[in-house]
Amino acid sequence: MKIFILDKNMDDINTLKKIIHNNHLGFLVGVSDDPLEGVEEIMTSEPDLIILDMLDEEFDGFRIIKEIKEEGLSTKFIMISNFTSKENVEKAYIHGVEYFIYKPINYLEVETIIKKVKYKIELEEKMNKIQQIFNDITPNFEQTIESKDCEQDINLILFRLGIMGEIGSEDLVKVANFLMKNRVKINDLSIRELCSRFTNNPKAMEQRMRRTINVAMSNIASLGIEDYMNETFVEYSNTLFNFEQIKREMDYIRGKNNGKGSINMKKFLSGLCILCEKYNN
């Protein structure tokens, strides 16, 4: 994470530098005690995080944030200030500041807050990569399906879930395709009994599918964090999973709890069949 510090007080700059360096919080790409020069350096270095003082009427920190955003630079802001009015704090958050810190600088508070921002940036990068997986589903992919059948529909869904490359994806296709073509009710058999129709080691097959479905849950939860109304998230989060568990997974990814969401393999397989029938109607 690239960090830039903009503050008119060199003592505060040195304190922040020490906290960042000692705790390995990121790479310091620049510091400045001159707002005008600082903004120019920021535009050149393109930091992921800017720590800036609220400054004063002559060099308004809020105006600087607005200017940086208008230039199209995507970065996070932490604002620090001697002024502790409620109005200033509210104004900071309205301008998109992630956190507001009061001076004098508290080592532990600054360390904790920078770590939180760093985690948020890493999370957003992960979600962007996942979103790219879904964006890479081009019309050409669907156009190649001239005569659709159960297996092709299932592959398309797994592709949208971002798990086509997972080792258990082929097992999921086999089981779901079997259920669809033979009109087997999922509750009539256990998962282990289903797997035993395809392999002499049904336990290993079940474990592969479980791991793959867990990856799908993580992908969908990450997508929901980024865009709660995303069509893929809306369609799959409740059809293939228990939505309460999806929310639990979302909280786990955000760092709000220590427990991941849990999957129900029968619900997932049943959901695959329901979606395939829907696509063919």
Pair (163, 103) in one structural domain: no
- pLDDT tens string 229-251: 888 888 898 889 999 999 999 98
3-state secondary structure of 193: helix
Q: Is residue 193 part of a domain?
A: yes
Pair (97, 144) in one structural domain: no
- pLDDT tens string 27-57: 999 999 888 888 899 999 999 999 998 876 6
- b (16+ CB within 10 A) / e for 65-97: beebeeeeeebbbbbbbeeeeeeebebbeebeb
Separation CA 250–CA 124 (nearest Å): 13
Q: Is residue 19 part of a domain?
A: yes
Pair (171, 63) in one structural domain: no
Q: Is residue 132 part of a domain?
A: no
- pLDDT tens string 194-209: 999 999 999 999 999 9
Q: Is residue 210 part of a domain?
A: yes
- b (16+ CB within 10 A) / e for 124-147: eebbeebbebbeeeeeeeeeeeee
Confidence band, pLDDT 50/70/90 cuts, at residue 140: very low
Q: Is residue 162 part of a domain?
A: yes
- DSSP secondary structure code for residue 188 in this structure: G
What is the pTM assigned to this prediction? 0.52
Pair (100, 68) in one structural domain: yes
Domain count along the chain: 2
- pLDDT tens string 91-110: 888 888 888 888 889 999 99
**Rounded to 5 degrees, what are φ and ψ at 275?**
-65, -40
Pair (58, 107) in one structural domain: yes
Residue predicted with more confidence, 29 or 258: 29
Q: Is residue 110 part of a domain?
A: yes
Pair (262, 151) in one structural domain: yes
The whole-number pLDDT of residue 280 equals 66
Q: Which position has the token pair 């799959």?
A: 236
Residue ranges making up the domain that contains 70: 2-125
Question: Residue 103 belongs to a domain with what CATH number?
Answer: 3.40.50.2300
